[in-house]
Structure 1
Amino acid sequence: MTAPIRVLIADDQMMVRQGFTVLLDAEPGIEVVGQAVDGLDAVAKVAELAPDVVLMDIRMPGLGGIEATHRITAAPGATARVLVLTTFDLDEYVYEALRAGASGFLLKDASAEELAQAVRVVADGQALLAPTITKRLIAEFARVTRSARTARTPRQGRAGDLTERETEVLSLIAQGLSNAEIAERLVVAEQTVKTHVGRILVKLGLRDRTQAAVFAYETGLVRPAGY
């Protein structure tokens, strides 16, 4: 029997924490193991409870969700994946949260079905980005790369380890395509795409597709059209 996905909910609003707890505990294969009232509490609870997924509010008193996300994902041996909670899909902090290591975002008004699906997707190692956020990320990366085209980070050299096909797959990931969409575009089996994605993450030392997209744009390996 497969162990349930362990979830920690971090939000300074008690009604949000309790509401999400009720919704998720009613879902098969998902178990809420704890709640955190702010970022510091979230970091401590992750170390104590070892959840698979953290639902992280961005705006909290004291230590906010962005710094908490960074501390959680940057910790040695970190395995918890962070799913950012936001009120608006164009929240100004979503970009920074993803750069801090979040695996995706979820609107607070999501349905029970959407919430459960989001937890399962992130727990499975996939990224969860809505089209509006993907477009906004691309625009932000375009702005950043315009202002720092000559900047070069140590991670850029690792792109040379990718094969031509892996580079092509990475480009499509950065454009927000799913494995199924990439498979259709390249006329290959979806399992083949999954294999390529896995190799890309290993070669680049990245955790998931979100980090791969960030890597692609920040290093200039992929550039938005028109830039």
Structure 2
Amino acid sequence: MSLHSAGPRIRVVLANDVEVVVHGLAQMLAPYSDIIEVVDLDVALEDPSGPTADITLYDTFSQGQADGDGIDLTLEDDRGGRLVVFSWNTEPDLIQKALQKGARGYLTKSLPAAELVAALQEIHTGQIVVQPGPDHHPTDPVGGDWPGRTKGLTAREAEVISLVSQGLPNHEIAVRCRLSINSVKSYIRTSYRKMGVSTRAQAVRWGIEHGMLPRRDRPGHQEQERSRTGG
């Protein structure tokens, strides 16, 4: 894949409620501002007649995978253009499920920024792009950001602690992250050591203080939360 900057910029919405994640993605794309224009999600949701996007980049951090309801609600909003899943969970069944639901791409977070932008360009032209390929072995993200990174948390650990901070029990975290219950417990143990905490209550407080919670004031968030909880 190669980059080209001819023509109008591609308008991209970054769909995630965790501010650190959104800012990290925006910074990752900033060097390619001649190709990509990042559209503010809040403005788009507040004003139905306001900015629309060509592509919605759906970052799965802390908000469920392609087999969950979050992506369905995002797909329902046609102002977001083509939806592309951005995740480190690259199991073939998740990729297939996303494409069946209507996603136009599935991109691994191990992509360098230039390759991510090139993939978005191809999707913008109408192609369906899946990166990783079939022989890909998942790794931690090489770009973007996540809460707790400066404290030593890996992206996987940060997502688990984000869900702990939201009050989810271990078995729900395992389902949300597509991990075994033993893996969830292992991530929690290693995270606790890095965070300097020993109890779940302390971990929740740490998560709140370090930006682990999604924004509750974002337009549309309450609808998504009601769908997730069945309320």
TM-score range, shorter chain: 0.3 to 0.5
Structure with greater contact order relative to length (CA < 8 Å, sep ≥ 6):
2
TM-score, length of structure 2 as denominator length: 0.45
TM-score, length of structure 1 as denominator length: 0.46
Query: Hey, which of these two has a bigger chunk of helix by percent?
Result: 1
